[in-house]
Structure 1
Amino acid sequence: MSDVTAVPLRPIKRSALTALWIGIGLLVVIGVAAAWAGTERQVRMATPPAAFLAKNATRDGVHTTPSGLQYKILKPGTGPRPTANDVVVVDYVGKLASGETFDASALHGGPATLPVGGVIPGWVEGLQLMNEGSEYRFWIPPELGYGPAGAGDGVIPPNALLTFDVTLRGIKPGGIEAMMRGMGGLGGMGGAAPEGVPPGGEGR
Structure 2
Amino acid sequence: MQNVGKIMIAAAVAVGLTACAPSEQASTQPPSGPSTPAAAQQPTKTSESSAPTSEAASTGAECTADDIKVTGAANSKPEITIPTTCAPPKKLIVKDLTPGTGKEVVKGSDMLTHYLLVTWSNKTEKDSSWKRNQPFPLQGVGEASVIDGWNEGLVGIKQGGRRLLVVPPDKGYGQGGNGIEPNETLVFVIDAVQVS
Instruction: Tell me the TM-score normalized by structure 2.
Output: 0.57
Residue 143 and residue 110 in structure 1: after superposition, are their counterparts in 2 closer, same or farther (change >3 A)? same
- Total equivalences in the alignment: 136
Residue 95 and residue 46 in structure 1: after superposition, are their counterparts in 2 closer, same or farther (change >3 A)? farther
Q: Deviations over 1:57-106 (max 9, x none)?
A: 384799xxxx9211232211122321231211010000101211111002
Determine the C-alpha separation between the residues in 2 that align with 1:45 and 1:93. 27
Determine the C-alpha separation between the residues in 2 that align with 1:45 and 1:78. 42
CA contact (8 A) 1:142 1:159 kept: yes
Matches within 5 A, 1:190-201: none
Aligned partner (choices 65, 80, 91) of residue 68 of structure 1: 91
CA contact (8 A) 1:41 1:99 kept: no
Q: Matched residue of 2:62: which SS? A: helix
Which residue is equivalent to 2:30? none
CA contact (8 A) 1:61 1:73 kept: no
Matches within 5 A, 1:1-12: none
Answering whether residue 193 of structure 2 is matched by residue 169 of structure 1, we say: yes
Determine the C-alpha separation between the residues in 1 that align with 2:170 and 2:64. 17
Q: How far is the alpha carbon of 1:146 from its aligned partner? A: 1.1
Which residue is equivalent to 2:134? 110
Q: How far is the alpha carbon of 1:45 from its aligned partner? A: 10
- Unpaired segments ≥5 residues, structure 2: 1-37, 70-89
Which residue is equivalent to 1:31? 41
Moved more, 88-97 or 31-40: 31-40
Which residue is equivalent to 1:189? none
Aligned partner (choices 183, 190, 195) of residue 159 of structure 1: 183
Residue 112 and residue 81 in structure 1: after superposition, are their counterparts in 2 closer, same or farther (change >3 A)? same
Determine the C-alpha separation between the residues in 2 that align with 1:91 and 1:41. 35
Determine the C-alpha separation between the residues in 2 that align with 1:140 and 1:42. 25
- Unpaired segments ≥5 residues, structure 1: 1-27, 173-204
Instruction: Give 4+ residue runs of structure 1 displaced > 4 Å after superposition.
Output: 37-48
Q: Matched residue of 1:56: which SS? A: coil
Matches within 5 A, 1:1-204: 31-32=41-42, 36=46, 47-48=57-58, 54-57=61-64, 59=66, 68-97=91-120, 98-115=122-139, 116=141, 117-118=143-144, 119-148=146-175, 150-152=176-178, 155-172=179-196
Residue 166 and residue 30 in structure 1: after superposition, are their counterparts in 2 closer, same or farther (change >3 A)? same
Residue identity opposite 1:138 in structure 2: L
CA RMSD of aligned residues (A): 3.7
Instruction: Tell me the TM-score normalized by structure 1.
Output: 0.55
Determine the C-alpha separation between the residues in 2 that align with 1:91 and 1:131. 13
